[in-house]
Amino acid sequence: MHWLDLSIFLTYMVAMLGVGLYFFYQNKTTEDYYVGGRKIGSWHIGLSVVATDVGGGFSIGLGGLGFALGISGSWMLFTGLIGAWLAAVFLIPSVNKLSKEINLLTLPQLFGYLFNGRVALMTGILSAIGYVGFTSSQILAGAKLATATFPTLELPTALWVMGGVAVIYTVFGGLKAVIYTDTVQWIILMGGLLFVALPLGYYEVGGWEGLQNTLPKSYFDFQNITWQTFVNWGITIIPIWFVGMTLYQRIFAAKNEQEAQKAWFIAGLLEWPLMAIMGVSLGIIARAAVEQGLLAGITAAGTDAEMGVPLLLRYTLPYGLMGVVLAAYFSAIMSTADSCLMAASSNIMTDLMKPFIKLTERQEMRWSQVLTFIVGLGAIAISNYMTQVLDLMLMSYSVMVSGLTIPLLAGMFMRKVSSRGALWAIIMGGGTTITLLATSMELPLGLDANVFGLSASAITYFVIGIFHSDKQEVFEKVSL
């Protein structure tokens, strides 16, 4: 890498660490650290939501879909738009109000309010597992980008370097640092990809004529996916807007219900069509560049699809601009990694440790930072054993969705609930998905393991609920 590109990239990383250090001195309580003092506006939250949800994993992953499938890969983020808008209409009015009334910091606390402490504990465990995995996926995305850019850099080294920066500034800054840097990071990402990477890559492959003459027609067909693929994406991504800890932290951080809803509508529109089309378009251009022989010694058959876009950037961008685009991609990765890291550490601190130990406010704050550091190290270690960013992301989503969706919807919107049913629904739903993923079983109709996990959760909840139901005294507070 040229010294100019390296200087731009290093300046960006130092700036992110500086933001974390600034907020280190601003955070006085765990409420500051985990929910930003509950005073953040819609645009900061909206950009943070989309930066977190799409982030580096989907940026690298969408490029891989474009490389392998073409424009039809963009439908993955259409499910994100649906999930965001459904949550804005049906979930946020209740949750935002309730968070102010009973000082909610985490999703498991909501489960504890709707059901009981055992359900909250199990929710915390499942959510922490999911978000540790999700953090790992973002670190892996950053490492893949780094190894494509620095040919002499080994993947394990890249994992520790990329992960280390994300972990350190998150440990220092908490959610305020996460949200405000996410705003900047999203702007950097959009600027770098829209005004540098896309036009230069498009020019290199010969524009529209070059793409059409190089790639099959299926690459430009929005219908080039099976119904099973769309169902699998939808059943995994739409529910995460109802059970994602990173999203609840932002609902809790919003000034009021209207600001939170506005943020979710903004995020949905930015995800699809803008980021979806842009992400897969870069993958399509990368595939055309490979087929045209523009990337020396690289063939489609021997290339990891998720490495297509990083390799395109390495071979086609001039000095200076490479540093800008590298910072853009890394900013996307950081924006998701930091949020997921915050979610995992807050689950462990607030939901798994705090009920059993007594700490002063200052001790709790410092322990939160220590836990964030420890969880970050664990996520980096896990990323050493995975190879595909998108697979790891969707696996992490699936575990949380399959266990938590049915109890959450039942607790929020049904007049009678079952705490026992909720507990076992979480165990059976999450356990079924984990088992199916671990055994790599071939599933009926090509459906995802998450479909069967959700089914197991629903059946478990309603069967147990027939015999064991609670009096729902909180319904009037949280129902629409």
For 178-226, write each residue's pLDDT tens digit.
677 777 777 777 887 888 889 999 999 999 999 999 999 999 999 999 9
Helices and strands, counts by H and E, the chain: 23, 2
Superfamily grouping for domain 3-391:
Sodium/glucose cotransporter (1.20.1730.10)
pTM above threshold 0.85: no
For 409-439, write each residue's pLDDT tens digit.
999 988 889 999 999 999 999 999 999 988 8
Find which of 20-24, 128-132, 141-145 is predicted with most confidence, using mean pLDDT: 128-132
User: Do residues 48 and 251 make contact, with C-beta atoms less than 8 angstroms apart?
Assistant: no
User: Do residues 34 and 105 make contact, with C-beta atoms less than 8 angstroms apart?
Assistant: yes
H or E segment and range at residue 403: helix 389-413
Within 13 Å, how many C-alpha atoms sit on residue 77's CB side?
31
Instruction: Name the residue ranges covered by the structural domains of the chain.
Output: 3-391
Within 13 Å, how many C-alpha atoms sit on residue 458's CB side?
9
Q: What share of the chain is helix, strand, coil (3-state, %, to 5)?
A: 80, 0, 15
For 276-320, write each residue's pLDDT tens digit.
999 999 999 999 999 999 987 788 887 888 888 888 888 887 877
User: Do residues 407 and 323 make contact, with C-beta atoms less than 8 angstroms apart?
Assistant: no
